Amino acid sequence: MSQIDDHVVPASMRPRSRGHALLVWLAVIYAVALALSILLIIRGDQQLGAAGALLVLTMGPVAFILGMSHTDRRREHVIERVDELTRTVRALNNHASLSNDARRVLNRSAERDLLRLAIEEDINSKNWDAAMVLVKELAENFGYRADAEEFRRKIDQARAQTVEREIGDSVAYLDGLIIQRRWDEAFTDAARLKRLYPDSVKVDLLKSRVEQARHSYKADLERRFLQAANEGRPEDALTIIKELDPYLSVTEAEPLREKARNVIGMARDTLGAAFKIAVQDRQWREAARIGDRIIAEFPNTRMATEVKDVIDGIRMRANEMQAV
Protein backbone atom coordinates (compact mmCIF):
# COMPACT_ATOMS: atom_id res chain seq x y z
CA MET A 1 0.00 0.00 0.00
CA SER A 2 1.30 3.43 -0.91
CA GLN A 3 -0.56 5.21 1.85
CA ILE A 4 -1.36 4.24 5.41
CA ASP A 5 -4.92 4.77 6.64
CA ASP A 6 -5.07 7.32 9.44
CA HIS A 7 -7.42 5.09 11.37
CA VAL A 8 -4.75 2.41 11.84
CA VAL A 9 -1.96 4.82 12.84
CA PRO A 10 -1.52 5.18 16.63
CA ALA A 11 -2.45 8.58 18.03
CA SER A 12 1.03 9.00 19.43
CA MET A 13 2.46 8.73 15.86
CA ARG A 14 0.14 11.32 14.25
CA PRO A 15 1.59 14.70 13.22
CA ARG A 16 1.60 17.38 15.89
CA SER A 17 1.95 20.35 13.60
CA ARG A 18 -1.38 21.87 14.72
CA GLY A 19 -0.39 21.57 18.39
CA HIS A 20 2.97 23.12 17.72
CA ALA A 21 1.39 25.96 15.76
CA LEU A 22 -1.03 26.61 18.61
CA LEU A 23 1.82 26.81 21.11
CA VAL A 24 3.64 29.25 18.85
CA TRP A 25 0.55 31.44 18.61
CA LEU A 26 0.12 31.30 22.37
CA ALA A 27 3.72 32.37 22.88
CA VAL A 28 3.34 35.27 20.46
CA ILE A 29 0.05 36.50 21.96
CA TYR A 30 1.27 36.29 25.55
CA ALA A 31 4.55 38.01 24.62
CA VAL A 32 2.60 40.85 22.99
CA ALA A 33 0.32 41.11 26.02
CA LEU A 34 3.30 41.22 28.38
CA ALA A 35 4.99 43.87 26.24
CA LEU A 36 1.85 46.04 26.27
CA SER A 37 1.61 45.70 30.04
CA ILE A 38 5.24 46.80 30.45
CA LEU A 39 4.58 49.70 28.08
CA LEU A 40 1.63 50.81 30.20
CA ILE A 41 3.79 50.77 33.32
CA ILE A 42 6.49 52.82 31.58
CA ARG A 43 3.88 55.36 30.41
CA GLY A 44 2.78 55.89 33.99
CA ASP A 45 -0.35 53.73 34.20
CA GLN A 46 1.08 51.40 36.84
CA GLN A 47 -2.27 50.02 37.99
CA LEU A 48 -3.48 48.96 34.54
CA GLY A 49 -0.03 47.73 33.45
CA ALA A 50 0.39 45.68 36.60
CA ALA A 51 -3.04 44.12 36.10
CA GLY A 52 -2.13 43.13 32.52
CA ALA A 53 1.21 41.69 33.57
CA LEU A 54 -0.45 39.71 36.36
CA LEU A 55 -3.01 38.35 33.89
CA VAL A 56 -0.26 37.23 31.49
CA LEU A 57 1.86 35.63 34.19
CA THR A 58 -1.07 33.72 35.71
CA MET A 59 -2.92 32.66 32.55
CA GLY A 60 0.13 31.98 30.37
CA PRO A 61 1.37 28.80 32.08
CA VAL A 62 -2.17 27.42 32.25
CA ALA A 63 -2.75 28.04 28.55
CA PHE A 64 0.55 26.39 27.55
CA ILE A 65 -0.21 23.33 29.66
CA LEU A 66 -3.64 23.01 28.08
CA GLY A 67 -2.17 23.67 24.63
CA MET A 68 0.08 20.65 24.97
CA SER A 69 -3.00 18.41 25.32
CA HIS A 70 -3.86 16.26 22.27
CA THR A 71 -7.62 16.00 22.73
CA ASP A 72 -9.92 18.11 20.63
CA ARG A 73 -12.02 19.11 23.60
CA ARG A 74 -9.09 20.55 25.51
CA ARG A 75 -7.75 22.16 22.33
CA GLU A 76 -11.08 23.88 21.81
CA HIS A 77 -10.98 25.07 25.40
CA VAL A 78 -7.52 26.51 24.87
CA ILE A 79 -8.68 28.28 21.70
CA GLU A 80 -11.56 29.82 23.64
CA ARG A 81 -9.14 31.04 26.30
CA VAL A 82 -6.85 32.44 23.64
CA ASP A 83 -9.76 34.33 22.10
CA GLU A 84 -10.68 35.66 25.51
CA LEU A 85 -7.10 36.74 26.16
CA THR A 86 -6.97 38.37 22.73
CA ARG A 87 -10.05 40.43 23.53
CA THR A 88 -8.52 41.40 26.88
CA VAL A 89 -5.27 42.48 25.26
CA ARG A 90 -7.18 44.53 22.69
CA ALA A 91 -9.17 46.17 25.49
CA LEU A 92 -5.95 46.95 27.35
CA ASN A 93 -4.43 48.42 24.21
CA ASN A 94 -7.52 50.53 23.52
CA HIS A 95 -7.58 51.71 27.14
CA ALA A 96 -3.89 52.57 27.02
CA SER A 97 -4.41 54.72 23.94
CA LEU A 98 -6.96 56.90 25.77
CA SER A 99 -6.02 60.12 27.51
CA ASN A 100 -6.20 60.40 31.28
CA ASP A 101 -9.35 62.52 31.05
CA ALA A 102 -11.03 59.99 28.73
CA ARG A 103 -10.17 57.11 31.07
CA ARG A 104 -11.51 59.13 33.99
CA VAL A 105 -14.82 59.56 32.15
CA LEU A 106 -15.04 55.80 31.58
CA ASN A 107 -14.33 55.13 35.27
CA ARG A 108 -16.55 57.99 36.46
CA SER A 109 -19.17 55.81 38.15
CA ALA A 110 -16.62 53.57 39.88
CA GLU A 111 -14.60 56.56 41.13
CA ARG A 112 -17.77 58.20 42.40
CA ASP A 113 -18.64 55.10 44.42
CA LEU A 114 -15.09 54.99 45.82
CA LEU A 115 -15.29 58.66 46.81
CA ARG A 116 -18.63 58.18 48.51
CA LEU A 117 -17.27 55.18 50.43
CA ALA A 118 -14.17 57.14 51.49
CA ILE A 119 -16.29 60.08 52.67
CA GLU A 120 -18.49 57.75 54.72
CA GLU A 121 -15.41 56.20 56.34
CA ASP A 122 -14.02 59.65 57.23
CA ILE A 123 -17.36 60.65 58.76
CA ASN A 124 -17.46 57.48 60.86
CA SER A 125 -13.85 58.12 61.94
CA LYS A 126 -14.67 61.79 62.77
CA ASN A 127 -12.08 63.01 60.24
CA TRP A 128 -14.22 66.01 59.31
CA ASP A 129 -11.57 68.01 57.44
CA ALA A 130 -10.50 65.04 55.34
CA ALA A 131 -14.13 64.31 54.51
CA MET A 132 -14.66 67.92 53.39
CA VAL A 133 -11.68 67.68 51.02
CA LEU A 134 -13.22 64.62 49.36
CA VAL A 135 -16.62 66.33 49.19
CA LYS A 136 -15.03 69.23 47.31
CA GLU A 137 -13.48 66.70 44.92
CA LEU A 138 -16.86 65.08 44.39
CA ALA A 139 -18.48 68.41 43.53
CA GLU A 140 -15.79 70.15 41.47
CA ASN A 141 -14.07 67.33 39.58
CA PHE A 142 -17.03 64.99 39.11
CA GLY A 143 -19.93 67.42 39.08
CA TYR A 144 -22.04 65.61 41.69
CA ARG A 145 -22.97 68.82 43.49
CA ALA A 146 -26.23 67.46 44.93
CA ASP A 147 -24.37 64.52 46.47
CA ALA A 148 -21.71 66.91 47.77
CA GLU A 149 -24.28 69.15 49.46
CA GLU A 150 -25.91 66.15 51.08
CA PHE A 151 -22.54 65.02 52.44
CA ARG A 152 -21.79 68.55 53.71
CA ARG A 153 -25.07 68.57 55.61
CA LYS A 154 -24.33 65.12 57.01
CA ILE A 155 -20.80 66.13 58.07
CA ASP A 156 -22.00 69.36 59.73
CA GLN A 157 -24.72 67.49 61.60
CA ALA A 158 -22.41 64.67 62.76
CA ARG A 159 -19.70 67.15 63.79
CA ALA A 160 -22.18 69.31 65.71
CA GLN A 161 -23.58 66.30 67.59
CA THR A 162 -20.11 65.01 68.42
CA VAL A 163 -18.85 68.40 69.56
CA GLU A 164 -21.97 68.97 71.67
CA ARG A 165 -21.50 65.62 73.39
CA GLU A 166 -17.79 66.24 73.98
CA ILE A 167 -18.48 69.70 75.40
CA GLY A 168 -21.15 68.26 77.70
CA ASP A 169 -18.72 65.66 79.05
CA SER A 170 -16.01 68.30 79.50
CA VAL A 171 -18.36 70.66 81.36
CA ALA A 172 -19.40 67.82 83.68
CA TYR A 173 -15.74 67.16 84.47
CA LEU A 174 -15.17 70.87 85.07
CA ASP A 175 -18.12 70.95 87.48
CA GLY A 176 -16.45 68.12 89.37
CA LEU A 177 -13.30 70.21 89.75
CA ILE A 178 -15.40 73.12 91.02
CA ILE A 179 -17.17 70.91 93.57
CA GLN A 180 -13.78 69.68 94.79
CA ARG A 181 -12.57 73.33 94.88
CA ARG A 182 -9.60 72.52 92.65
CA TRP A 183 -9.60 76.04 91.26
CA ASP A 184 -6.25 76.07 89.45
CA GLU A 185 -7.11 72.86 87.58
CA ALA A 186 -10.57 74.23 86.78
CA PHE A 187 -9.14 77.42 85.26
CA THR A 188 -6.62 75.41 83.25
CA ASP A 189 -9.32 73.09 81.94
CA ALA A 190 -11.58 76.01 80.99
CA ALA A 191 -8.72 77.52 78.97
CA ARG A 192 -8.09 74.18 77.27
CA LEU A 193 -11.74 73.87 76.25
CA LYS A 194 -11.66 77.40 74.87
CA ARG A 195 -8.76 76.43 72.61
CA LEU A 196 -10.48 73.24 71.48
CA TYR A 197 -13.91 74.76 70.83
CA PRO A 198 -13.38 78.46 70.09
CA ASP A 199 -16.79 78.87 68.42
CA SER A 200 -18.88 77.41 71.25
CA VAL A 201 -20.94 79.85 73.33
CA LYS A 202 -21.01 77.39 76.23
CA VAL A 203 -17.22 77.27 76.35
CA ASP A 204 -17.01 81.08 76.33
CA LEU A 205 -18.79 81.17 79.70
CA LEU A 206 -16.71 78.49 81.45
CA LYS A 207 -13.98 80.79 82.78
CA SER A 208 -16.49 83.18 84.32
CA ARG A 209 -18.34 80.14 85.68
CA VAL A 210 -15.22 79.04 87.57
CA GLU A 211 -14.55 82.59 88.77
CA GLN A 212 -18.11 82.96 90.03
CA ALA A 213 -17.97 79.63 91.87
CA ARG A 214 -14.67 80.54 93.51
CA HIS A 215 -15.98 83.98 94.55
CA SER A 216 -19.14 82.45 96.02
CA TYR A 217 -17.17 79.91 98.04
CA LYS A 218 -14.82 82.61 99.31
CA ALA A 219 -17.78 84.76 100.42
CA ASP A 220 -19.30 81.75 102.20
CA LEU A 221 -16.04 81.11 104.08
CA GLU A 222 -15.86 84.74 105.19
CA ARG A 223 -19.47 84.65 106.39
CA ARG A 224 -18.91 81.43 108.35
CA PHE A 225 -15.72 82.81 109.94
CA LEU A 226 -17.43 85.94 111.19
CA GLN A 227 -20.35 83.94 112.50
CA ALA A 228 -18.09 81.51 114.42
CA ALA A 229 -16.01 84.38 115.81
CA ASN A 230 -19.07 86.34 116.95
CA GLU A 231 -20.60 83.24 118.55
CA GLY A 232 -17.46 82.53 120.58
CA ARG A 233 -16.40 79.38 118.73
CA PRO A 234 -12.69 80.08 118.36
CA GLU A 235 -11.65 76.62 117.17
CA ASP A 236 -14.23 76.61 114.37
CA ALA A 237 -13.28 80.17 113.46
CA LEU A 238 -9.59 79.23 113.42
CA THR A 239 -10.22 76.27 111.11
CA ILE A 240 -12.22 78.48 108.74
CA ILE A 241 -9.71 81.34 108.70
CA LYS A 242 -6.95 78.91 107.71
CA GLU A 243 -8.98 77.79 104.71
CA LEU A 244 -10.00 81.38 103.88
CA ASP A 245 -6.48 82.81 103.99
CA PRO A 246 -5.34 81.70 100.44
CA TYR A 247 -8.42 83.38 98.92
CA LEU A 248 -7.69 86.81 100.41
CA SER A 249 -5.50 89.52 99.00
CA VAL A 250 -3.64 91.84 101.37
CA THR A 251 -6.35 94.47 100.97
CA GLU A 252 -9.17 91.98 101.54
CA ALA A 253 -7.47 90.49 104.61
CA GLU A 254 -6.99 93.83 106.38
CA PRO A 255 -10.59 94.22 107.71
CA LEU A 256 -10.45 90.69 109.12
CA ARG A 257 -6.97 90.93 110.62
CA GLU A 258 -7.97 92.14 114.12
CA LYS A 259 -10.80 89.65 114.46
CA ALA A 260 -8.52 86.85 113.22
CA ARG A 261 -5.90 87.84 115.81
CA ASN A 262 -8.53 87.68 118.56
CA VAL A 263 -9.75 84.31 117.30
CA ILE A 264 -6.22 82.91 117.23
CA GLY A 265 -5.61 84.12 120.81
CA MET A 266 -8.89 82.65 122.00
CA ALA A 267 -8.17 79.34 120.27
CA ARG A 268 -4.68 79.21 121.78
CA ASP A 269 -5.99 79.97 125.26
CA THR A 270 -8.76 77.39 124.86
CA LEU A 271 -6.25 74.71 123.84
CA GLY A 272 -3.94 75.68 126.71
CA ALA A 273 -6.74 75.36 129.23
CA ALA A 274 -7.82 72.02 127.79
CA PHE A 275 -4.23 70.76 127.95
CA LYS A 276 -3.89 71.69 131.64
CA ILE A 277 -7.20 70.04 132.52
CA ALA A 278 -6.23 66.84 130.71
CA VAL A 279 -2.88 66.71 132.56
CA GLN A 280 -4.54 67.36 135.95
CA ASP A 281 -7.09 64.61 135.28
CA ARG A 282 -4.29 62.27 134.15
CA GLN A 283 -5.94 61.89 130.73
CA TRP A 284 -2.56 61.29 129.15
CA ARG A 285 -3.73 60.36 125.68
CA GLU A 286 -5.96 63.45 125.46
CA ALA A 287 -3.18 65.61 126.88
CA ALA A 288 -0.73 64.24 124.26
CA ARG A 289 -3.21 64.95 121.44
CA ILE A 290 -3.84 68.54 122.59
CA GLY A 291 -0.14 69.11 123.21
CA ASP A 292 0.70 68.04 119.67
CA ARG A 293 -1.89 70.50 118.33
CA ILE A 294 -0.42 73.35 120.34
CA ILE A 295 3.08 72.61 119.04
CA ALA A 296 1.87 72.30 115.43
CA GLU A 297 -0.54 75.26 115.32
CA PHE A 298 1.31 77.74 117.59
CA PRO A 299 4.98 76.74 117.20
CA ASN A 300 6.45 80.16 118.03
CA THR A 301 4.55 80.82 121.26
CA ARG A 302 5.74 80.44 124.85
CA MET A 303 2.92 77.95 125.41
CA ALA A 304 4.37 75.68 122.69
CA THR A 305 7.80 75.88 124.35
CA GLU A 306 6.32 74.87 127.70
CA VAL A 307 4.42 71.99 126.15
CA LYS A 308 7.57 70.72 124.40
CA ASP A 309 9.30 70.46 127.79
CA VAL A 310 6.75 67.97 129.14
CA ILE A 311 5.31 66.32 126.03
CA ASP A 312 7.76 63.36 126.01
CA GLY A 313 6.75 62.31 129.53
CA ILE A 314 3.08 62.67 128.67
CA ARG A 315 3.47 60.51 125.56
CA MET A 316 5.26 57.84 127.60
CA ARG A 317 2.42 57.71 130.12
CA ALA A 318 -0.12 57.60 127.26
CA ASN A 319 1.68 54.60 125.75
CA GLU A 320 1.81 52.85 129.13
CA MET A 321 -1.90 53.44 129.59
CA GLN A 322 -2.60 52.02 126.14
CA ALA A 323 -0.50 48.93 126.89
CA VAL A 324 -2.52 48.25 130.03
Per-residue pLDDT, averaged over 172-190, amounts to: 93
Q: What is the pLDDT of residue 46?
A: 59
Residue 119 in contact with residue 134, Cβ under 8 Å? yes
Question: Percent of the chain, pLDDT > 90?
Answer: 13
Does residue 195 or residue 104 have the better pLDDT? 195
The pTM for the full model equals 0.51
Q: How far is the C-alpha of 198 from the C-alpha of 5, rounded, in Å?
A: 98
Does residue 197 or residue 13 have the better pLDDT? 197
Residue 192 in contact with residue 173, Cβ under 8 Å? no
pLDDT in tens, 262-314: 888 888 888 888 888 888 888 888 888 888 888 887 888 888 888 888 888 88
Q: How far is the C-alpha of 2 from the C-alpha of 10, rounded, in Å?
A: 18
Does pLDDT of 191 surpass 80?
A: yes
Identify the CA nearest to 272 among candidates 242, 293, 256. 293
Residue 170 in contact with residue 206, Cβ under 8 Å? no
Q: How far is the C-alpha of 199 from the C-alpha of 318, rounded, in Å?
A: 65
Q: pLDDT confidence of 11, banded at 50, 70, 90? A: very low
Does residue 176 or residue 162 have the better pLDDT? 176
Q: What is the DSSP letter of 4?
A: -
Does pLDDT of 234 surpass 80?
A: yes
Does pLDDT of 96 surpass 80?
A: no
Q: What is the pLDDT of residue 2?
A: 40
**What is the average pLDDT score of the chain?**
76
Does residue 217 or residue 51 have the better pLDDT? 217
pLDDT in tens, 26-67: 566 666 666 766 766 666 665 655 666 656 555 555 555 555
Does pLDDT of 103 surpass 50?
A: no
Q: How far is CA 264 from CA 179, 227, 239, 271, in A?
A: 29, 15, 10, 11
Residue type, 111: E
Torsion over CA: 154, 155, 160, 163 (sign): positive
CA terminus-to-terminus distance, the chain = 139
pLDDT in tens, 62-95: 555 555 554 455 556 656 665 676 666 555 555 5
Sequence spans of domains, the chain? 14-106, 108-204, 209-323
Q: pLDDT confidence of 3, banded at 50, 70, 90? A: very low
